Amino acid sequence: MSMNLTKEQVIALNQPIDKNNVAFRSGGGSLKLAYLESWHVIREANRIFDYDWSSETIKMDLVHADNFCVTYIARVRVIVNGIVKEGYGSGHGRGERVPAGDKHESAVKEAESDARKRALMQFGDQFGLSLYDKEKNWQKTQPPVNNDLNSNTTPKQTKQQPLNSDVIPEALSNQEKQMIYKELQELAESEDEKDQKTFNNLESYCRMTFPIPDNGRFSEYIQEKKHKVIIDDYMRPYRK
């Protein structure tokens, strides 16, 4: 890996994971399973690899379907500087009264997201590798004070400096939301096919990385700081 990645990238990948970025879900009974949200993993990949990475879904199989639930298994390939990693993931769409198309779409997105995270996980702790440690040593470590890409600081203090993009209020102000809405509206109403394509791709990207009802307008769900981070990360290469 180090032959293809820079020294700074290897250092960033091997830094202990910040416990504040870990989420939990029920694993049955009192069991809690630790995981990283898809939007966070994508943002970290953009930060560490400077947007120079790609993700491709190379297989998607429907493995179960009944009136209540459909399940897909996805295989996703991630390429970073010539390094190829693949991951498998599953996704489920449930509901007796949910339209079949919505259930299938939800399951496909979940399977693809899960597989992408498993592929990126193989690059290091920043993508959740240490969460698979049965001894849960990740809960006992402390991330470096400075998690900038060029930092090789060793863990010494008790609190990690946030990324610049994290210095955003938990809930977006009306002014921030209006600025985002204006940019999205200009793209959506533009007569330039490139702008329209950018808008459509951004909408797909947002629906993939944070939960939006299938019949909801994605712009109406831009309410939190992480939503702005996701949009800013995606739009940065397109902004002049």
- List the CATH number of the domain containing 72: 3.30.390.80
Note the pLDDT of residue 177. 82
Instruction: Please check whether residues 18 and 124 belong to one and the same domain.
Output: yes
What pLDDT is recorded for position 77? 94
Domain-ending residue, one of 103, 137, 164: 164
Examine residue 127 and state whether it is found in any structural domain, yes or no.
Answer: yes
DSSP secondary structure letter of residue 155: S
33, 47: one domain: yes
In a domain, 47, yes or no: yes
The whole-number mean pLDDT for each consecutive block of 10 residues of the chain, a chain of 240 residues, reads: 76 86 72 82 91 91 92 93 91 87 90 92 87 69 54 36 37 81 88 85 74 68 77 74
Say how far apart CA 40 and CA 22 lie, in whole Å.
10
Last residue of a domain, one of 108, 140, 164: 164
Specify if 100 maps to a domain: yes
Rounded CA separation 147/124 (Å):
14
**What DSSP string describes 26-86?**
E-STT-EEEE--HHHHHHHHHHHHTT-EEEEEEEEEEEEE-SSEEEEEEEEEEEETTEEEE
pLDDT of residue 131: 80
* b/e burial code for range 156-180 (CB count within 10 A of at least 16 → b): eeeebeeeebeebeeebeeeebeeb
What residues make up the domain containing 210? 168-235
Domain boundary among 119, 144, 164: 164
Q: How many domains does the chain have?
A: 2
Distance of CA 51 to the CA centre of its chain: 13
- Kindly state whether residues 58 and 93 are assigned to the same domain: yes
Cα-Cα-Cα-Cα dihedral sign, residues 238, 46, 42, 120: positive
- Give the N- to C-terminal CA distance of the chain in Å, as an integer: 34
Q: Does residue 19 lie within any of the structural domains?
A: yes
In a domain, 148, yes or no: yes
Instruction: Looking at the structure, tell me whether residues 222 and 120 fall in a common domain.
Output: no
What does the alpha-carbon distance between residue 125 and residue 119 come to, in Å, rounded to a whole number? 12
Candidates 125, 152, 120, 119; CA nearest to 137 is: 125
pLDDT of residue 240: 60
Asked whether residue 2 is assigned to any structural domain, the reply reads no
Do 156 and 226 lie in one domain? The reply is no
**Structural domain includes residue 192:** yes
Q: What pLDDT score was predicted for residue 195?
A: 85
Residues 16 and 37 in one domain: yes
Task: Indicate if 124 and 44 belong to the same structural domain.
Answer: yes
Instruction: Note whether residue 97 is domain-resident.
Output: yes
